[in-house]
Structure 1
Amino acid sequence: MKRKLAILFAIIAWFAVIVQFYIMIENRVSSISETVIRFFSFFTILTNIIVAIYFSSQSTKSKVSGFFDQPGRLTAVTVYILVVGLVYQFVLRQVWEPTGMQKIVDELLHSVTPVITLIYWFLYEKKKMVKWSEVPNWLIYPAVYLIYILFRGDFSGFYPYPFVNVPEIGIQQTFINSFFVLILFLVLSYGMILIGKGSVANSKDA
Structure 2
Amino acid sequence: MVNPCATRRCFVAVAALLGWAGLSIQLYLILYSRWSIEASLLGGLMSFFSFFTVLSNTLVATVLTCEWTSRPSAMRRWFLQPWVASAVAVSIAVVGLTYSALLRHLWHPEGWQFLADELLHDVMPVLFLGYWWWCVPKGTLRLRHIGLWVIYPLLYFAYSLLRGHELAVYPYPFIDVDKLGYPQVFLNAAGLLVGFVLISLVVIGLDRWRHSSSLSSRRQ
TM-score (norm 2): 0.90
Match of 2:193 in 1: 182
RMSD: 1.3
- Give the CA deviation at 1:126: 1.8
Query: Which structure is larger by alpha-carbon Rg, 1 or 2?
Result: 2
SS at match of 2:181: helix
* Aligned twin of 1:41: 50
Structure 1 residue 54, shift from structure 2 partner: 0.8
Letter matched to residue 20 of structure 1: Q
Q: 1:58 aligns with which of 56, 67, 70?
A: 67
Match of 1:149 among 135, 160, 179: 160
8 A contact 1:43–1:84 mirrored in 2: yes
Distance 1:64 1:31 in 2: 32
Deviation at 1:5?
2.2
- Distance in 2 of aligned mates of 1:6 and 1:91: 29
In the TM superposition, what are the counterparts of 1:1-206 in structure 2 within 5 Å?
A: 1=5, 2-28=8-34, 30-60=39-69, 61=71, 62-206=73-217
Identity of aligned residues (%): 35
CA distance in 2, matches of 1:158, 1:38: 9
Q: How many residues align?
A: 206
Structure 2 unaligned spans of 5+: none
Looking at structure 2, the residues matched to 204 and 8 of structure 1 have their Cα atoms a distance apart, in angstroms, of: 30
Shift, 1:72, TM fit: 1.3
Q: Out of 187-196 and 125-134, give the one that drifted further.
A: 125-134
User: Is the contact made by 2:86 and 2:132 (CA closer than 8 Å) also made in structure 1?
Assistant: yes
For structure 1, the residue ranges without an aligned partner over 5 or more in a row are: none
